[in-house]
Structure 1
């Protein structure tokens, strides 16, 4: 089990970061909420990881703190919640926001997340409430395979916007929904891909 990596950031394309550790490059899937906390390229970083082996691939998921990793591990234990859905949940809201939604039983907030319907939202609330009661209270206080994209989705937009849309699609959003989330943002000031994604995810909540 690979539980932690310490190395230099070679490349960043949300939701994947490439970390070099003693000459070996590790591709790590990260929630967008953790991705934003990473330093710039060529800087050293410590990432807490969770390694998953599937039939046709091996996936490494990374988090900037143990609390996010702990929540991810609890989520993937639930029936119907795989790593991809867990990553989407933690990309769309912080661990604090998710726990608050569970505690207040905010179904309408949860169903705004990609891949979460009313039935799954109710399941999350029932299962996670029980799990969170067993976790120490202070714990949460403080592959990259893109879906096939219609070329028209990324036409007539900037490179930065296209990169942001592609990242949202990788997190589970439908192509057209991802495009709509980005194009409606105020881009009067020069901005980055990470900023666009962060603003888009904030607007759905």
Structure 2
């Protein structure tokens, strides 16, 4: 029952379409009809500006964090308990699926990168923090959000397994699946990167 309950909560939490609601309520537009047509933080930054993009980014990350740590907060398990880790993994998968296929926005959401970041922050904070640093380095140097996300997603399973010596098989599988999903969802970005026409974003430019 724990897996069902936390799974449903996580999916509904992920289904909160932050970018869509922000665009419609504050700017009277559907973010999915502009720019990259993606209902995520990056497209929100490009179309609605830094303030709206920052709000969407924070909320989308928090969705992942809350979904991942809720089983820990509402149960008496220790942080490293295998059953708890498995609960967090299931919740993490479903919150990301909720973000990508939100029931509250006709199942048309974002790519799940920010929410995935929140999930790994809730499941494995040390590896997540290193991934954030890697993302920022790549983003600042090359000005490609997609490239930063791809590099960070590849690094996550490597860090979990090799740097932190994880022995939990479901966690290892989850980290690989999550990394693969992020890469697959960025397949168009990868094509544009190789073609040299991927959209850039300057972090420090107003």
TM-score, normalization by structure 2: 0.26
TM-score normalized by the length of structure 1 = 0.27
